[in-house]
Chains A and B, each alone.
Chain A
């Protein structure tokens, strides 16, 4: 099986039952994508598959064949400068333990990609796809609002 992850192409030989989240973490060493519930509910494992958000715990390895994947490791720029959305999460204390953060970032990035100026309610609705046990969500919503077009951290 072949796939592209964050711009790098990979060839892998894995068992079909291996979940995409485990391919990323264990075969490719990209441990930014987190496995939480492993049944689609928590959103920690969210990745972008051909540009669309999906649960990587509900995909089998062969379903990645020929596809383009983007994970949290693909957000930082050259020289490891954090993506504006990541900087905004930092500035607004949008994370505590950080377990939910990769999924939150990719969900927010997808939202800003097709709705660069969301209302607070739209941000809340999009982020309802992801569970956070630490922050109480307010700071995460603040971080995303501040990254929408015109905010301090322009992601567009």
Chain B
């Protein structure tokens, strides 16, 4: 239960970190909060040659409002995402989701960038970020680009971020952030990874008509993802019981759960439907 030897680097600028990640012929990994990578290294499921500790890279920090977006640095700890005044005010869904992660001793270390890059299929922040329509800024020694969150996840524990790229920041539209939201998850014990997670945002006009909606789920087999048909089942309706049932049926079509120690396929399907219903109800109630 001890990690294999590695070479440790602690760059103090983004450029220096990206140069280290660009090196050929050695397996180089970024270390953010270490709450997913270090368990894998202790179990020797990961054995990087070089570890690039991001902790001293100032460009990866900070939470700020710029125009119609809130920008959150990749190195922002879950505890900060859960408690920061700007996040709580402008992106309450994200703050709410962050509180559900593990325990305080995990949240004081784990980071937003690490959670998105690790891409656990049932992690909270990926699902909340999908529902909010985030944009992910990545950079490498080759240049910078932006990945829409819907194109970030590429199967369980896999993303479209290249090995030499770093997530620098995540940008969230304030417009989606201010919508009423719902969030529901099923975990065996408090602080455990969820089996299934659902997040919903609704935009409702004065007459109760639904103008826009997003429905995102995790822990449903494959990557966490947006369920477009479920959102479309709600848009243009008054979110009456028939529309909700249609949305839930779309979720049932979209999930591909796999049976494991924690639940059968039928159980996981039932939970995805139930959590979707709960998240929609919470979003409606919050209006």
Contact = CB atoms under 8 A, between A and B. Distances in A.
Determine if chain A interacts with chain B.
yes
Interface of A: 15-17, 19, 22, 38-40, 43, 46, 49, 52-55, 57-60, 62-63, 107, 110, 125-126, 128-129
A60 to B, nearest CB: 7
Given A38-B1, A128-B191, A43 B105 contact: yes
Given A39-B39, A62-B53, 5 more contacts: A38-B42, A40-B106, A54-B105, A60-B31, A107-B105
Q: Which of B35, B42, B53 is packed against the most chain A CB atoms within 10 Å?
A: B42
Given A40-B35, A58-B34, A17 B6 contact: yes
Given A16-B8, A19-B2, A129-B191, A55 B51 contact: no
11 contacts: A19-B3, A22-B2, A40-B35, A49-B108, A58-B34, A59-B38, A60-B51, A63-B55, A110-B104, A128-B190, A129-B106
B238 interface: no
Given A53-B104, A128-B103, A62 B35 contact: no
Interface of B: 1-8, 10, 31, 34-35, 38-39, 42-43, 51, 53, 55, 79, 102-106, 108-109, 189-191
Given A17-B5, A38-B1, A63-B53, A57 B42 contact: yes
Contacts of B53: 62-63
A60 B51 CA distance: 11
Contacts of A125: 190
B284 to A, nearest CB: 27
A71 B220 CA distance: 41
Contacts of B8: 16, 60, 62
A127 B6 CA distance: 34
A16 B51 CA distance: 10
B38 A60 contact: yes
B101 to A, nearest CB: 12
A49 B3 CA distance: 21
B108 A52 contact: yes
A77 B39 CA distance: 34
Given A53-B105, A128-B103, A17 B2 contact: yes
Contacts of A129: 102-106, 191
B39 A40 contact: yes
Contacts of B105: 43, 46, 53-55, 107, 129
B143 to A, nearest CB: 30
Given A58-B39, A59-B34, A129-B104, A16 B189 contact: no
A105 B5 CA distance: 32
Contacts of B4: 17
Contacts of A17: 2-6
Nearest to A62: B8
A119 to B, nearest CB: 15
